[in-house]
Each structure stands twice: as structure tokens, then as C-alpha cells.
Amino acid sequence: MICVLASIRVKEGAREAFLKIFNENVPKVKGEAGCIEYFPALDIDAALPVQVRDERVVTIIEKWQSVEALHAHLASPHMLDYKERVQDLVEDVTLKVLQPV
């Protein structure tokens, strides 16, 4: 199993539009072979001094059975469509692909 943390920084005022498009795609992703878990999350104020919050970042939390399943996910038709639909809403994307130890 691998875990993916995708940090998607949306443009000013674009968060709700982005989340609408993203959430429309979630059932398709969850139906993919190898998908264990997949959902968006937003920063909350946990009153922790080391916490870094950013209202323009949507963090996608994912679990996949393998790196191969992740690659198939990224090449799927619904993900290619999703990327096209959100391209004008997104400012930056960073990924962390992690393996539990």
C-alpha cells in the first residue's frame, strides 16, 4: 500500500468551484481498481503553534494498493477530464507519495 498527499493550491476565490468539480469525480476514482481511500480535506484551526494553515490549499488524502494503481489512476479518462476542468482554478500542485513502514 502507498499513501499520497496532494496539496492543491487554488486561485483566490476558486476553492468552492474547485471542490464542486473535485467531488463530482470522487465516485469515479473510488471505483478504480486499487483505490483504497480518496478524499479532500481542508485546514482547520487546531490551535497548535506549529500548525501552518492555508485557506487556499485543498489536501487530497489517498491510499492505493500500489504505485502501478496510482499511475493507472492518473492516466484514467475521468482524471484527464478533471485536470482539464480545474486547470484555470489551480495555482500549484505538490505531491508526496509515501510508503508506511
Residues 54-77 pLDDT 10s = 999 999 999 999 999 999 999 999
Cβ–Cβ < 8 Å for 93, 7:
yes
Give residue limits of the domains in the chain.
2-44+53-98
Cα angle, residue 28 at apex, residues 61 and 93 outer, rounded to 5°: 40
Question: Residues 6 or more apart from 10 whose CB is under 8 A from it?
Answer: 18, 56, 57, 58, 89, 90, 91
Closest CA to 57 of 6, 5, 9, 2: 9
**pLDDT single digits (tens) 3-62:** 999 999 999 999 999 999 999 999 999 999 999 999 999 999 999 999 999 999 999 999
State the CATH architecture for 2-44+53-98. 2-Layer Sandwich (3.30)
